[in-house]
Amino acid sequence: MRSILRIILVILVVLVVGLSITACTLPTEEAPTLDPDSGATPTPTPTPFLGSPGEESSEPSPCQGLRGEIEVRVLVGPADVVGLEPVAIGTAPFSVVSSEPPFVIQGGGAIEYYDVLVEEWGTYEVSMDLLLSIGGECVVEENQVYLDLQINIAGTQLVIVTAEGFSGEYPWTGEYTFPWRFPAVSGASASGEGWEFVLLLAD
């Protein structure tokens, strides 16, 4: 009887704390730039655009052919609560798909997560499947190159608790969109409560 009560207590903690951690990532309304006041990780100086302001350059735009990927890290609340692997990690490749302005960016990827806790009283399973899509534009402003991105994350999470005389499933579904401006520098990053994005540009 005491073990059953303990299981129920764990479930309540997961639902109240774990799911709230997973769902705490809310979309922002405006696309901020990375600066010391934004709470994002400081990054190196953006790639300069060679050419005189107000004059057309004979050099190709630094946006042409730009490609890379966004590494996405998402906190899995119910897993973190009970000591399982707390972070789901995936990548979303992207590229500039137009050869002249506007330099449109498209890309996408997926994250799959699964972990299980096995105890004498039973098992505690956590799975998460997320789809990532990236859209936006590469722009040159004041001789600097930026990626104005819309990062969309949508998917499901499921917690299954099985014990003697007890079995429960606790699903979660969510979708969030993050508008964010990155300087065109490999390693530039942005983070918030429960999530982190890292820009990785191809050579």
User: What does residue 60 show for φ and ψ, rounded to 5 degrees?
Assistant: -65, 155
How far apart are the C-alpha atoms of 37 and 74, rounded to whole Å? 22
What is the three-class DSSP state of 180?
strand
Look at residue 59 in the predicted model and tell me its pLDDT.
81
The tokens describing 20, both together, are: 């709230």
Give the CATH class of 2-27+64-201. mainly beta
Which pLDDT tens digits describe the chain residue by residue (203 residues)?
A: 445 445 544 454 444 445 444 544 434 334 444 443 444 444 444 544 444 444 555 688 999 999 999 999 999 999 999 999 999 999 999 999 999 999 999 999 999 999 999 999 999 999 999 999 999 999 999 999 999 999 999 999 999 999 998 999 999 999 999 999 999 999 999 999 899 999 999 98
Q: Which residues pair with 112 in a beta bridge?
A: 129
pLDDT at site 177: 95
User: Given this model, what pLDDT does residue 57 score?
Assistant: 54
Residue with tokens 């399982």: 84
How distant is the alpha carbon of residue 69 from its chain centre? 12
Query: Which residue in the block uniquely carries the two structure tokens 């309540």?
Result: 12
Instruction: Identify the CA nearest to 127 among candidates 137, 119, 117.
Output: 117
**Encoded tokens for 104:** 């449109």
- 73 CB-contact burial (10 Å; exposed 0-12 / middle 13-18 / buried 19+): middle
Q: What average pLDDT does the chain have?
A: 82
pLDDT, position 6: 52
* 26-61 pLDDT, tens digit each: 343 344 444 434 444 444 445 444 444 445 556 889
Q: How far apart are CA 24 and CA 36, in angstroms?
A: 23
Q: What are 177's two structure tokens?
A: 């969109």
The total number of residues written for the chain in this structure: 203
What are the tokens at 171?
A: 């699903």
> Which pLDDT does position 11 carry in this prediction?
52
Interatomic CA distance for residues 63 and 58, integer angstroms: 14
Burial class (CB in 10 A: 0-12, 13-18, 19+), 172: middle
